[in-house]
Amino acid sequence: MRIRYYMMCFRFEALVASHLEPEEFGIYMAVGTKKLASGKVMFFEVDPFPRPGAIDPGYFRLDDIEARCAPRLDGSPKRSKYISVYRVLEHLSLAQFGALYLTTSDGRVLKLDEAPWDGGLADAAAPKGSSIAPSGVNLYQELCPLLPMVVSTQGPDEFLRGMTDARNPVSAPRLLIADLRLNRDVAGHLAGDLPYTDARHIEECVRELEQDASKPSKTVSRTPRTQGFFRVLRRGFFLGDATGLKFYRFPTVDELEIHHAGWWRSAQMA
Amino acid sequence: MTTKTSSARRSSLLRRLAAPLFGIALLSVAWCFRPGDAHAGAGPTPRAFQFFSLFSDPSFTTLERTSLIAVLVIAVAGLVYALVLARQVVAADTGTQRMQDVANAVREGSNAYLRAQFRKLGPLIVVITFLLWLTYSGSEPVFRWGRAGAFLVGALFSWTVGFVGMRLATTGNLRVAAAATRSYGEAMQLGYRTGTVTGMLTDGLGLLGGTVIFLMYGVHAYEALLGFGFGGTLLALFMRVGGGIYTKAADVGADLVGKIEKDIPEDDPRNAATIADNVGDNVGDCAGMAADIFESYEVTIVAAMILGMASFGHKGVIFPLLVRGIGVLGSIVSTYTVRAGPEDSSDSALSSVHRGFWIGSTLSVIGFFALGFFYLRFDASYLSINPTAFAGFPGGDPTHLPAWASLGVGGLDLRPALTCLIGVFLAVALNKVTSYYTHTAHAPVKGLAKACTTGHATNIIEGFAIGYESTVATIVVVAAALGLSVLCYAGAPPLFVAYGVAMTGIGMLTLTGNTISMDVFGPVADNANGIGEMGYDPEEMERQKPGSYKKARQILADLDAVGNTTKAETKGIAIGSAVIAAVSLFSSFIAVIAVGSEERIGEMTIAQYQAEAARLTVATPSVFIGLLIGGAVPFLFSSMLIRAVGRAAFFIVRECRAQFRDLEIWRGTKKPDYGRVVDICTSTAQKELTGPALLAIGMPLVTGLVLGPYALGGFLAGMILTGQLLAVFMSNAGGAWDNAKKLIEDGIYGGKGSEAHKAAVTGDTVGDPLKDTAGPAINPLIKVMNMVSLLTLDLVLRFHVGTTRTDGLFGIAPGILGAVLAAVCLGAVLWAVNKSKQGTPGLEDDEVPERS
């Protein structure tokens, strides 16, 4: 059986070996086997083996992986064998990251392939028939390795460059962020369909950035909730560091309704 | 352990035997009171009876006979129209195999439910028919057959309306889903016409039954009409209770496991309760509501005919039938005008439905005023044949009527037409009140949605406040309509006033065809949306015609929204009609007390009626006690039903959890066993029917036999008042909670998944059994208790504990026999109450769902 490698990036950070296909793995991680769990997860399919240009090739213990990840005695596939559960993201190179898989809390899996980033794609999940205008400020949900929610006037590439710049007193080697909707109505308030629990605070943070041009970003929350997370995704996911950026485009609502109807219905639940 | 098991077995055996034992006890008592023993020598010998005597009775004019035949033809025309529409629906495109599979599962579930219900109710109906035949205490044998036979026909008609309506709804939903892939107008028209079939069936069968009975029995139709009304009412109670329990048990069960525990969306094919949930929409909103309105339709015509006969003579009987005939014609014309264009939206579709209602109303109002102008002439020759009518005119002279009632035409009395008009306005006003308190466009629901932002408790508190306030508004509207009807007959004796109230009920249900079309359209559109969700193949549809999937889904979502609105609007009419019918029947109740027997109601004088009505005062302790007991019964009834929903939902939750443990089902690679949940819903809903039915039939008997006939009057008054208040409160509070959730889901206060949404879901879950189970079931409860009281009044008058009569049986005093019968009934009621409070069997064995 072929061993696949997945990097869990939400709800926790880990590198996992498995015989399961990505869709099967997503279901397994979201709902378990007979003990039916429930909770959304996101993971990348990765190639963890060192190659030219990869950073820190010796971080993961992969020499005996074939033995550790052998099929079960009854011939059934090994569902998960954890290789590492700590600082995984920074120990893989950008080139090692494959597709990103979004799994809803009931186990529906959506595959996002890497897409070219042209710096200004339109909103993916704009509300249907709404007159809500997009805000000039961006709302980012950091997903890995940390989880703060941030508002920023910087575009995602610039934001990631800044946040992963080692010269910056507060930085991380690499970051995965999601770009969230921050639509506002004509009165300047957040759109009614956005499920953020701290909407008033987000509005205040946005106002602060708008009034103080010298301040590019502001943390909204250090422990954000992810209620309705998939529903508020804007352009997609950005994985990057000082060396580069990978963009995973989130489909438009039309694409979701037609081609991924099951996933999209499930994604809107929680 | 052994003791516990044997005790459980005994208890189970007792439970199984209780209902038959109660039936046998009633049969035994009925046998004791069989004809020949009762009323020995009491009252004068009735006049000789002949079937269809009105064709040879000189007091009926040729025009009247022709009119009655015309009404009969109109009733048949309504049924033919229903048949034509049904064929159109059946002939429509049935979509893809995948859609048909989903629709078939819903249809099979619905049929299974109705089959199981018929198996359960069939024997009961036969027993009650026999009881009615056996307990007839009059002296004319054909009335015995008439009462029992009419009961059977009323029950069968009511069941037919529910059965056929539901069959067609489960046929139409697939066609609507298929039509939505082509055009909005076609889908809308098919959905509405599916509802119209049930509406016209109600119209046609209700009118057919009342007219045939009157043609057969003429002025002696009282007994048969009561039997007919009771048959329809009792079946409606069963359909409402069973349907209400089914629909909410399935809904709550599906939501608890699907949405709350597993975070999966509505109509997700992996949820084993999904099909049962869709079946529930049909058995509750379609079969239950249709049977409910059918019995209101029956009962109002029965009340108007009985009171009309006792007040204005045969014109008082024939006019309501003619008005109903005009209503059927109005419904035929107006329902056919409801249509929508290919590119219409929900707003224009709703306008079309409302325009249809207005067209029907206008045609009907013009029709019954024109009819009244020519028919409601009271000349000397008519008054000499129908002398009771004299008392209905100022100074006993029709020419003394004020100009607003006679238009200055001597002998013309347009008051019955005016009270019908009040009824039409009442229907419209109740629609508006219900809409105001439950629709998302108005302040109450918007406020309720806002209350969700501060939490679950504030949502519940605000919902209660809205429900209470809406109750007052509804009562004010009903009271205003009653007041206007009373004003029309100001100065006339109470019996004539009661006739005016009954005519208000006739007017209110003039457009029953349209009302039921609007109601049934709701579950049809809802189911069509579910079929679209589960049965459409988005990629294939988009491949064949880009944009077609999104457009079809949008059409179904729009139709669903229209259906939700029209369904909510008709609930107000159902409750209002129950009150109007009950108030009218209450007058019949006093009339029977006044003359001592149903058979002699035609001999009643106005003075007798007034004297008896005056004795029904709360200053009399027994009447006051009856009032208190009657006022409490709707609460007990509601408690039993709500508990029943919880009990049935428990089994469904357990089954769904068990099926979700199968990972193949969870991953969507294996179909769940939908039939298992459908079976659970069907069997538990049937099991739960017995208790509420025993309460509805037993309590009036207990009150009447122990406290006497006047206390029974107090009982009815209390029950009508609190029943109406509670039904409106539960329906509107539940509707408001439901729509507050929808409002948030449409994208305010954070939309789906937000904290406000969670609070809204709590409100909706609390409101579900209120608005769809207990609230609607109170309508037939009110009428069943009225009917039982009327039908057993002879028994109560003769055998109540305080009677001074001495003509008992087998040397036993009537009071003692009454006490025994009361004890039997009380025992049955207590058993039912106890059963409703018992814990859910198997609860202790259930496992808490595991999480990894």
Check B666 against A31: CB less than 8 A apart.
yes
Option in A193, A197, A262 nearest B747 (CB): A193
Digit-coded pLDDT (tens) for B51-65: 888 888 888 888 889
B474 near B436, Cβ under 8 Å? Answer: no
- Look at residue B36 in the predicted model and tell me its pLDDT: 43
Tell the burial category of B471 from Cβ atoms under 10 Å away from its Cβ (0-12, 13-18, 19+): buried
A198 to chain B, minimum CA–CA distance in Å? 10
**Phi and psi, residue B719, nearest 5°:** -70, -40
Interface of B with A in 753-792 (CB under 8 A): 753-755, 757
Tell the burial category of B82 from Cβ atoms under 10 Å away from its Cβ (0-12, 13-18, 19+): buried
- Is the four-CA dihedral B492, B493, B496, B498 of positive or negative sign? positive
**Phi and psi, residue B98, nearest 5°:** -65, -40
Check A268 against B757: CB less than 8 A apart.
no
Best CA proximity match to B439, nearest among B427, B448, B451, B450? B448
Digit-coded pLDDT (tens) for B196-228: 999 999 999 999 998 999 899 887 887 788 889
Check B851 against A37: CB less than 8 A apart.
yes
Cβ atoms within 10 Å of B809's Cβ, excluding its own: 16
What is the DSSP secondary-structure string of B142-200? HHHHHHHHHHHHHHHHHHHHHHHHHHHHHHHHHHHHHHTTT-HHHHHHHHHHHHHHHHH
**Rg of the Cα atoms in chain A:** 19
- Look at residue B564 in the predicted model and tell me its pLDDT: 78
Q: Which residues contact residue B244 at a Cβ distance below 8 angstroms, ignoring those fewer than 6 apart?
A: B284, B288, B641, B645, B769, B772, B773, B774, B776, B777
Q: Which residue of A has its CA nearest to B750?
A: A195
B579 near B782, Cβ under 8 Å? Answer: yes
What is the distance between the alpha carbons of residues A34 and A40, in angstroms, rounded to a whole number? 17
Tokens of B641: 């039903």
Averaged pLDDT for residues A53-68:
74
- Look at residue B41 in the predicted model and tell me its pLDDT: 37
Averaged pLDDT for residues B127-141:
81
Could you tell me which residue, B431 or A110, shows the higher pLDDT? A110
State the ipTM, two decimals.
0.71
Residues of A in Cβ contact (< 8 Å) with B547: none
A28 to chain B, minimum CA–CA distance in Å? 10
Option in B748, B755, B849 nearest A192 (CB): B748
pLDDT value at B839 more than 70 = no
Q: What is the 3-state secondary structure (H, E, C) of B318-368?
A: HHHHHHHHHHHHHHHHHHHCCCCCCCCCHHHHHHHHHHHHHHHHHHHHHHH
Best CA proximity match to B25, nearest among B826, B809, B821, B700? B821
What is the distance between the alpha carbons of residues B622 and B55, in angstroms, rounded to a whole number? 46
What pTM was estimated for this model as a whole?
Answer: 0.81
Averaged pLDDT for residues A26-38:
72
Tokens of B401: 């009527």
Identify from A25, A27, A36 which residue to disrupt to test chain B contact, counting B C-beta atoms within 10 A and taking the largest count: A36
Averaged pLDDT for residues B325-339:
92
Tell the burial category of B336 from Cβ atoms under 10 Å away from its Cβ (0-12, 13-18, 19+): middle
pLDDT value at B256 more than 90 = no
Q: Which residue of B has its CA nearest to A195?
A: B750
**3 state SS of A247:** strand
Percent over 70 (pLDDT), chain B: 91
- Look at residue A129 in the predicted model and tell me its pLDDT: 38
Element of type H or E holding B589: helix B548-595
Q: How far is CA B591 from CA B423, B578, B584, B605, in A?
A: 23, 20, 11, 9
Angle at which helices B97-135 and B674-687 pack, to 10 degrees?
20
Averaged pLDDT for residues B804-816:
80
- Look at residue B229 in the predicted model and tell me its pLDDT: 87
Adjacent-strand bridge partners of A246: A239
Percent over 70 (pLDDT), chain A: 88
**3 state SS of A95:** helix
pLDDT band, residue B47 (cuts 50/70/90): low
Among B150-154, B347-351, B405-409, the range scoring the smallest mean pLDDT is B347-351
What is the rounded average pLDDT for all residues in chain A? 85
pLDDT value at A185 more than 60 = yes
pLDDT value at B652 more than 70 = yes
Averaged pLDDT for residues B779-801:
89
User: For chain A, how far is it from start to end, CA to CA, in angstroms?
Assistant: 35
**Dihedral of the alpha carbons of B575, B581, B584, B587, in degrees to the nearest 10:** -90
Backbone φ/ψ region at B345: left (φ over 0), alpha (ψ -120 to 50), beta = beta
Check B752 against A268: CB less than 8 A apart.
yes
**What letter does residue A17 receive in the DSSP assignment?**
E
Among A46-55, A62-71, B139-148, B726-735, the range scoring the smallest mean pLDDT is A46-55
B181 to chain A, minimum CA–CA distance in Å? 14
Check A265 against B749: CB less than 8 A apart.
no
B103 to chain A, minimum CA–CA distance in Å? 19
Element of type H or E holding A142: strand A138-144
Check B751 against A38: CB less than 8 A apart.
no
Digit-coded pLDDT (tens) for B572-629: 788 888 888 888 888 888 888 888 766 676 667 778 888 888 888 989 999 999 999 9
Interface of B with A in 528-547 (CB under 8 A): 533, 538-539, 542
What is the distance between the alpha carbons of residues B301 and B324, in angstroms, rounded to a whole number? 8
B566 to chain A, minimum CA–CA distance in Å? 24
Option in B268, B553, B753 nearest A228 (CB): B753
**3 state SS of A220:** strand
Chain centroid offset of residue A245 CA:
13
Percent over 90 (pLDDT), chain B: 40
Residues of A in Cβ contact (< 8 Å) with B550: 254, 257-258
What is the rounded average pLDDT for all residues in chain B? 85
- Look at residue B765 in the predicted model and tell me its pLDDT: 87
The pairing of strands A175-180 and A217-221 is unpaired
- Look at residue B293 in the predicted model and tell me its pLDDT: 86
B376 near B499, Cβ under 8 Å? Answer: no
What is the distance between the alpha carbons of residues B639 and B762, in angstroms, rounded to a whole number? 19
Identify from A25, A27, A28, A31 which residue to disrupt to test chain B contact, counting B C-beta atoms within 10 A and taking the largest count: A31
What is the distance between the alpha carbons of residues B519 and B531, in angstroms, rounded to a whole number? 19
pLDDT band, residue B24 (cuts 50/70/90): very low
Q: Is B354 on the interface with A (CB under 8 A)?
A: no
Digit-coded pLDDT (tens) for A82-131: 999 999 999 998 999 999 999 988 788 999 999 998 775 445 444 443 33
B350 to chain A, minimum CA–CA distance in Å? 20
pLDDT value at B445 more than 60 = yes
Q: Is B752 on the interface with A (CB under 8 A)?
A: yes
Cβ atoms within 10 Å of B399's Cβ, excluding its own: 14
* Residue A150 half-sphere exposure toward CB, CA atoms < 13 A: 22
Option in B666, B850, B851 nearest A107 (CB): B666
pLDDT value at B31 more than 50 = no
Cβ atoms within 10 Å of A261's Cβ, excluding its own: 17
Option in B265, B666, B746 nearest A266 (CB): B265
Within B439-547, residue ranges assigned H as helices are 443-451, 456-488, 494-508, 512-535, 538-544
Could you tell me which residue, B749 or B588, shows the higher pLDDT? B749
Q: Which residues contact residue B51 at a Cβ distance below 8 angstroms, ignoring those fewer than 6 apart?
A: B142, B216, B217
pLDDT band, residue B419 (cuts 50/70/90): very high
- Look at residue A120 in the predicted model and tell me its pLDDT: 59
Angle at which helices B814-837 and B621-660 pack, to 10 degrees?
30
pLDDT band, residue B75 (cuts 50/70/90): very high
Tokens of B329: 């014609």
Averaged pLDDT for residues B254-281:
82
Please report the number of interchain residue pairs, chain A to chain B, with beta-carbon separation below 8 angstroms.
107
Chain centroid offset of residue B336 CA:
25
- Look at residue A127 in the predicted model and tell me its pLDDT: 43
**3 state SS of A129:** coil
Residues of A in Cβ contact (< 8 Å) with B259: 269
Q: Which residue, chain included where needed, has tokens 């005994």?
A: B10
pLDDT value at B90 more than 70 = yes
Residues of A in Cβ contact (< 8 Å) with B849: 36
pLDDT band, residue B48 (cuts 50/70/90): low
